[in-house]
Amino acid sequence: MSGLTQYRLANTLLRASRTTSPSVSYRLFHSSSSHNAAENPPPAEGFLAGLAESKFMKRTSDEVFKNPELESVSGGETKKMNLCQAVNDAMSIALATNEKAAVFGEDVAFGGVFRCTLGLAEKFGRDRVFNTPLTEQGIAGFAIGMASMGHSPIAEIQFADYIFPAFDQLVNEAAKYRYRSGGIFDVGGLTIRSPCSAVGHGGHYHSQSVESYFAHCPGLKVVIPRSPIQAKGLLLASIRDKNPTIFLEPKILYRSAVEQVPVDDYELPLGKAEVLKPGKDVTVVGWGSQIYTLENAIHMAEQQVPGLSCELIDLRSILPWDVDTVVESVNKTGRLVVAHEAPKTAGFAAEISSTVLERCFLRLESPIQRVCGWDTPFPLAFEKFYLPDRVRCFDAIKKAVEY
């Protein structure tokens, strides 16, 4: 069998496996035996340990409505949802309130590989929620065409790792559509959803964080939520924003914990970071699932360094990112730690570091610390060593403070 034939066969098998769950993909490509599931179960990862106990998860209605960003729905009903259900609820509201909205992608009519679109086809009809062929370039191109005609397509790329066949459509067509027509035409109604980041057993084709690739492209918005409340509000804002938006969902968070989520229709601001924990000694910045790793690292640091006070910021939007909030914090603390799962070289932490250095140079008390994935393909067996875990983040905080 030639190398080209082997490649084509492996690629066909790999892409066929994407219609199943990540655990099935794991068994297909990484099991060396034919033992049944009871004798040889998949790894017990796929959820974020400790997330259910996070202080940032809102467990009561009173906690939910303390957030001034939710003032528009204050006093309304809340419902317990995980992040997957919150995404589903946001799309349901978008379809109900906008007759020009449509949801499509690989397997979405069945509920999708993560079941985020479950029940939408039955509720809104298969002409508005439908499956596509397995072609990411085609999905993006079709969505751009719909958006150019005034519709609001909500297209799903089944895994962010497979968004790259659509890269040309997104960065050369969607991002530039308004600019190249002198503002006559636009595809502002376009939203691309995609599950991203580590899940515990995804390997190098189901674990990547791709935000920095798109952050380099003017004309797009890039958003990453950390929780069910955030996911619903930010997704609705992304769908209704008049710019093409890439909405990346950390898949490890889909079923890791629940929050009390407002039932009513609400939006959260794009391009605005949130200060989750005020502090005075060091600014710590992250987004998505990394927020909970940083929460644990901060807890370790404040226990081991008496009197230490860390400020934690969830960036939420990668493009545009909230420069003012981060700069204001660093001018106060004099120190900055940024963490993300993507590789360090040219990761978005580098952009944040450069901007902060330009604007806060005379206020910095120590070198800026970046805690990131290593500059390698995302590994399967060594995932725990690859990810910026709480110990690596703790070491960075300690290094910044003790410099």
- The active-site residue out of 45, 106, 136, 295 is 136
Distances from the Cα of 70 to the Cα of 63, 142, 263, 269, angstroms? 11, 34, 12, 10
Cβ contacts of 344 within 8 Å, gap of 6 or more: 350, 370, 372, 373, 374, 375
HSE-up (13 A, CA, CB side) for residue 393? 31
User: Is 340 known to be catalytic?
Assistant: no
SS3 57: coil
| Token pair for 53 | 């106990």
SS3 313: strand
Gap between the Cα atoms of 394 and 371, Å rounded:
10
SS3 337: strand
User: Is 267 known to be catalytic?
Assistant: no
- The active-site residue out of 156, 173, 201, 206 is 206
Cβ contacts of 43 within 8 Å, gap of 6 or more: 26, 200, 201
User: Which residues are annotated as catalytic?
Assistant: 136, 206
